[in-house]
Amino acid sequence: MIPFVATQVRAIIESLRLLESLVTVPLGLYSDIKMVRESLPFPEAAALSREETQERRTAFMTLTDTPHELALGTISSISTSLDILETTKGPDGTGPLAAPWVAQARRVLARAQARVGGDMRAKSAAKIQGLYVIVDPETTGGRPVAEVAEATLSGGASVLQLHDKVHDQRDVLAVARQIKALCDRYDSLFVMNGDPVLAVSSDSHGLHLGQSDLPITEARRILAPRQLVGSSNNSHEEAMESQTRGVDYLAL
């Protein structure tokens, strides 16, 4: 095997071993990750002894204080290696990994990403309590939005949402990044209103959607797995529909 290709294969195997240590629940998902690794036709993918397995898990746990972030990064790195290997072929014209295995691996990785992202969002959503404040340049009486935001946070707001329908995206992004930095300093959540691109670009903790905004499922395609999605609702029926579509919090 070409050294470059062999390196990608080994990276996938070791990354799957790491993921097995980071994603242990539900048991079925853990078993699927393990099965994907063990079904690779390479000696390096074989099961380790109990002592070797424990040694690696102990070493993995010392790598980071943010295992969820590491898990998402690991999933991303495996996906990148799969993309690379799908473009390579050996002398016989076939790739180093069988197409059915790659398809199964991608399905399992998608489930793992959804699980880890969901756990991270649940942790953030638990902070949505107390005072949830919306700041809008049309209602600040001419004061800079970031100034009002800081006053709000210093007064005890736990969540701050930026709503700006009057300025260009470039200007909104600059303010959004200021507010995100303030929210991090005050250990509060920053939520971008309406625009998933601005939510991603500002690294917000979440995105808030109205009934006429982008559908929740489409917004999820753009957002990072850890980013919350909330929705405004004007009736019990709308709230039930939003919940069915998987929002992390509801506003009435």
**Does residue 91 have a pLDDT over 80?**
no
| Cβ neighbours for 57, distance < 8 A, ≥ 6 positions apart | 21
Q: In sequence order, what are the beta bridge partners of 162?
A: 135, 192
Q: What is the band of 89 on the pLDDT scale with cuts at 50, 70, 90?
A: confident
d(CA 18, CA 64) in angstroms, rounded, equals 12
Q: Give the pLDDT confidence score for residue 239 in this predicted structure.
A: 94
Coil/strand/helix, residue 37: helix
Q: Residue 134 corresponds to which tokens in the numbers above?
A: 């919306």
Distance set, CA 142 to CA 137, 145, 158 (Å): 7, 8, 24
Kindly give the residue spans of alpha helices, DSSP state H, lying in 62-214.
67-86, 99-125, 145-154, 169-185, 196-201
197 in Cβ contact with 167 (< 8 Å):
no
The pTM of this model reads: 0.87
CA nearest 182: which of 146, 215, 132, 225? 146
d(CA 14, CA 5) in angstroms, rounded, equals 14
d(CA 190, CA 172) in angstroms, rounded, equals 14
CA nearest 213: which of 173, 175, 248, 163? 163
Q: In what order do the strands lie in the sheet with 206-209?
A: 132-135, 159-162, 189-193, 206-209, 228-232, 249-251
183 in Cβ contact with 190 (< 8 Å):
yes
Q: Give the pLDDT confidence score for residue 8 in this predicted structure.
A: 95
Q: Residue 108 corresponds to which tokens in the numbers above?
A: 């399992």
Q: For 120-130, what is the mean pLDDT? A: 94
Lowest-confidence segment of 26-30, 91-95, 122-126, 146-150 by average pLDDT: 91-95
Q: What is the pLDDT of residues 58-87, one digit of tens each?
A: 898 889 999 999 999 999 999 999 999 999
Q: What is the pLDDT of residues 176-234, one digit of tens each?
A: 999 999 999 999 999 999 999 999 999 999 999 999 999 999 999 999 999 999 999 99
The region, left, alpha or beta by phi > 0 then psi within -120 to 50, assigned to residue 94 is beta
